[in-house]
Amino acid sequence: GAVVSQHPSWVICKSGTSVKIECRSLDFQATTMFWYRQFPKQSLMLMATSNEGSKATYEQGVEKDKFLINHASLTLSTLTVTSAHPEDSSFYICSARVLANTGELFFGEGSRLTVL
Amino acid sequence: EDQVTQSPEALRLQEGESSSLNCSYTVSGLRGLFWYRQDPGKGPEFLFTLYSAGEEKEKERLKATLTKKESFLHITAPKPEDSATYLCAVANQAGTALIFGKGTTLSVSS
């Protein structure tokens, strides 16, 4: 299967700081990447759809100014959590689709964010 | 509203004890039903895609089936290494993203 890599795999930061998470497609080009958030024992919740070269599409209830998404190339999307607070602590996972409209998403390893 | 419900929430099996996991869905026009495996602290690993009722797919001890309202993930003679959370998802109406259930956490003891 296709390989999607995330970095960092875990990060601890102080309240009020910003954190950037990178998502890379290693062996394919991804015009679209997806950012999910997962709380313990909860479902993966789609936060936003990242489109290469254009603005991301955010799901209802997701703050655009808090979760900045940039998709500058066909292999890299970044999620920046700005002015992080303890309630932003979660598991963030990115995913990408190899071929448009086939449906199969391949996921990164996830990034565990803890805000103190 | 598109929705995915998985049951049971947790399942404990003895090694070799076969069972099934259920995924019920409501969606306007199924564009694909997906099964993933997720280990603790890891991203989901793709298992199967099913597109139409009656379709079946197999991989080692796992077999996924699909009806018009639900999907089953059958586990035959499970081993401890099959312990994980199994996630079910359907494509949203636009076919652009996946809507996930909460998952079934499977524990297989030897």
Give the whole-number percent of chain A exceeding pLDDT 70.
95
Give B47: exposed, middle or buried? Use CB within 10 Å, 0-12, 13-18, 19+.
Answer: middle
State which H helix or E strand residue A67 sits in: strand A67-73
**Chain A positions touching chain B (beta carbons under 8 Å):** 1, 4, 6, 32, 34, 41-46, 49, 91, 93, 95, 101-110, 112
> Per the CB < 8 Å rule, is B36 touching A107?
yes
How confident is the model at residue A102, as a pLDDT? Answer: 61
pLDDT tens, residue by residue, B15-74: 999 999 999 999 888 888 999 999 999 999 999 999 999 999 999 999 999 999 999 999
Give A50: exposed, middle or buried? Use CB within 10 Å, 0-12, 13-18, 19+.
Answer: buried
Least CB–CB distance from A43: residue in B31, B97, B102: B102
Q: Which residues in chain B are contacts of A101 at CB distance < 8 A? A: 95
Closest by CA position to A35, among listed A53, A22, A19, A16: A22
CB neighbours (10 Å) of residue A30? 26
Sequence letter at residue A82:
T
pLDDT tens, residue by residue, A46-76: 999 998 888 899 999 999 999 999 998 889 9
> Per the CB < 8 Å rule, is B44 touching A44?
yes
Better-scored residue on pLDDT, A33 or A31: A33
Under the banding of pLDDT at 50, 70 and 90, the label for residue A101 is low
Closest by CA position to B15, among listed B87, B88, B79: B79
- Surface of B (13-42) touching A: CB under 8 A: 31-32, 34, 36, 41-42
- Residues A92-114: b if buried by 16+ CB within 10 A, e if exposed: bbbbbbbeeeebbbbbbebbbbe
Q: Under a CB-based contact definition with an 8 Å cutoff, are residues B30 and B90 in contact?
A: yes
Running DSSP on this structure, what letter comes out for residue B81?
A: G
Is B45's Cβ below 8 Å from some Cβ in A? Answer: yes
Q: Under a CB-based contact definition with an 8 Å cutoff, are residues A5 and A107 in contact?
A: no
